[in-house]
Amino acid sequence: MGKIQLRQVRKSFGDVHVIPGIDLDIEDGEFVVFVGPSGCGKSTLLRLIAGLEDTTSGVIEIDGNDATHLPPAKRGLAMVFQSYALYPHMTVRKNIAFPLKMAGMSPEEQEKRVERAAKVLNLTNYLDRRPGQLSGGQRQRVAIGRAIVREPAAFLFDEPLSNLDAALRVGMRQEISELHQSLKTTMIYVTHDQVEAMTMADKIVVLNAGNIEQVGSPLTLYHTPKNIFVAGFIGSPRMNLIEGPEAAKHNAHTIGIRPEHIGVGDGPWEGVVGLSEHLGSDSFIKVDVPGLGVINVRAAGELNVHHGDRIKLAPTGKIHRFDDKGLAL
Amino acid sequence: MSTQSTRMAARFMVAPSVIVLFIWMIVPLAMTAYFSFRLYRLLSPDRTGWVGFNNYVWFFNSPDFWLALTNTLLLVGGVLVITVVLGILIALLLDQPVKGQGVLRILVIAPFFVMPPVAASIWENLFMHPQNGLFAAIARGFGAQPILFLENYPMPSVIGIVAWEWLPFATLIFVTALQSLSSEQLEAAEMDGASAFNRFRYIILPHLTRAITVVILIQTIFLLGIFGEIFTTTQGGPGSASTTLPYMIFKQAIVAKDIGRAAAGGIIAVILANIVAYFLMRGIGRHLDA
Ligand SMILES: Nc1ncnc2c1ncn2[C@@H]1O[C@H](COP(=O)(O)OP(=O)(O)O)[C@@H](O)[C@H]1O
Ligand SMILES: [Mg+2]
- All domains of chain A in start order, with CATH: 4-230 (3.40.50.300), 249-322 (2.40.50.140)
Q: Is the CB of A138 under 6 A from ligand 1?
A: no
**A13 CA: nearest ligand 1 atom:** 4
* Interface probe, candidates B187, B191, B201, B203, chain A, greatest A C-beta count within 10 A: B191
A83 touching B (Cβ < 8 Å): yes
The answer as to whether B46 is a domain residue is: no
Q: Which H/E stretch holds residue B152?
A: helix B149-152
Q: Is the CB of A37 under 6 A from ligand 1?
A: no
Q: What is the pTM of this model?
A: 0.82
CATH number of the domain at B86, please. Answer: 1.10.3720.10
**Domains contained in chain B, number:** 1
Q: How far is the C-alpha of B214 from the C-alpha of B33, rounded, in Å?
A: 30
Q: What is the pLDDT along chain B (290 residues), one digit of tens a residue?
A: 578 888 889 899 999 999 999 999 999 999 999 988 888 888 887 888 888 888 888 888 888 889 999 999 999 999 999 999 999 999 998 888 878 888 888 888 888 888 888 988 888 888 888 888 888 888 888 888 878 888 888 899 999 999 999 999 999 999 999 999 988 999 999 999 999 999 999 999 999 999 999 999 999 989 998 888 899 888 877 888 888 989 988 988 888 788 888 999 999 999 999 998 898 888 887 777 75
The answer as to whether B18 is a domain residue is: no
The answer as to whether B11 is a domain residue is: no
The answer as to whether B223 is a domain residue is: yes
Print the domain residue range for B104. Answer: 53-288
The answer as to whether B173 is a domain residue is: yes
The answer as to whether B273 is a domain residue is: yes
B190 touching A (Cβ < 8 Å): yes
As a 3-state breakdown, chain B gives helix, strand, coil percent values, each rounded to 5, of: 75, 0, 20
Q: What is the pLDDT along chain A (329 residues), one digit of tens a residue?
A: 789 999 999 999 989 999 999 999 999 999 999 999 999 999 999 999 999 999 999 999 999 899 999 999 889 999 999 889 999 999 999 999 999 999 999 999 999 999 999 988 888 999 999 999 998 889 999 999 999 998 899 999 999 988 888 888 898 899 999 999 999 999 999 999 989 999 999 999 999 999 999 999 999 999 999 999 999 999 888 999 999 888 898 999 999 999 999 999 888 899 999 999 999 899 999 999 998 889 999 998 888 888 999 999 999 988 999 999 889 98
The answer as to whether B39 is a domain residue is: no
Alpha carbon of A230 to those of A222, A234, A315: distances in Å? 9, 6, 20
Q: How far is the C-alpha of B109 from the C-alpha of B171, rounded, in Å?
A: 8
Q: Is the CB of A44 under 6 A from ligand 1?
A: yes
The answer to whether A83 contacts B193, with C-beta atoms less than 8 Å apart, is no
The answer as to whether B32 is a domain residue is: no
Beta bridge partners of A22: A9
Helical residues (DSSP H) of chain A, grouped into ranges: 42-50, 92-102, 107-120, 136-148, 166-183, 194-200, 218-223, 228-233, 245-248
